[in-house]
Amino acid sequence: MDLYEEIRTAAETAVTELIEVAGLKSGDLLVVGCSSSEILGERIGKGSSMEAAGAVYAGIAPELEKRGIYLAAQCCEHLNRALILDAAAAEKYGYEPVNVRPWAHAGGSFATTHWEALAHPVAVEHIRAQAGMDIGDTLIGMHLKEVAVPVRLSVKKIGQASLVCARTRPRFIGGERARYVDELK
């Protein structure tokens, strides 16, 4: 198996496991931050690779699409970690589009790949996703709903990049006498 097929397979396995653990359903948002540089063993932002990003995208996007889950691709810090998503998702959640288009060296290869794959891409500044994948220490936490819960998967790395995933859950309120809904934990 070549490097890019290994990357695609790892990404597919990771997103499939995360969907299951997080209980994602049609209409939910999954934020993905992806450093193609880190995947290839370079320092973040120093070795952008459309091929590595494309391999990750090929593993993740079809799994989300067949389940009706929206992908929000986080851009790099050069675009203030804006997010690329389908215009229908932005409209559904009431996110206001901003005028920017990512490219490999400002926004990143993964966000650019997602932009180019969408029929109606938009960029937005903030979202509150139900779950997220951070591939290569891209710092996606600012785009997750409160309360974020770490998720441990069988996949620990994609290429040479570390993988950290999270799901979210509603806050527990009410104190020691409260009763909770097990399905929401």
Whether 39 contacts 8, CB under 8 Å:
no
pLDDT digits (tens, 9 = 90+) for 21-45: 999 999 999 999 999 999 998 888 7
State the alpha helices, DSSP H only, in the chain. Answer: 3-22, 36-39, 50-67, 87-93, 109-117
In three-state secondary structure terms, 174 is coil
Whether residue 147 has a cis bond before it, omega within 30° of 0: yes
- Which tokens in the block code for residue 65? 């699409």
pLDDT digits (tens, 9 = 90+) for 44-79: 877 789 999 999 999 999 999 999 999 999 999 889
- Which tokens in the block code for residue 137? 């220490």
**Quick one: pLDDT band at residue 185, thresholds 50, 70, 90?**
confident
Rounded average pLDDT over 152-172:
96
Task: Enter the CATH code of domain 3-184.
Answer: 3.40.50.10360
pLDDT digits (tens, 9 = 90+) for 2-11: 999 999 999 9
Strand partners, 131: 30, 167
How far apart CA 31 and CA 40 sit, in angstroms, is 21
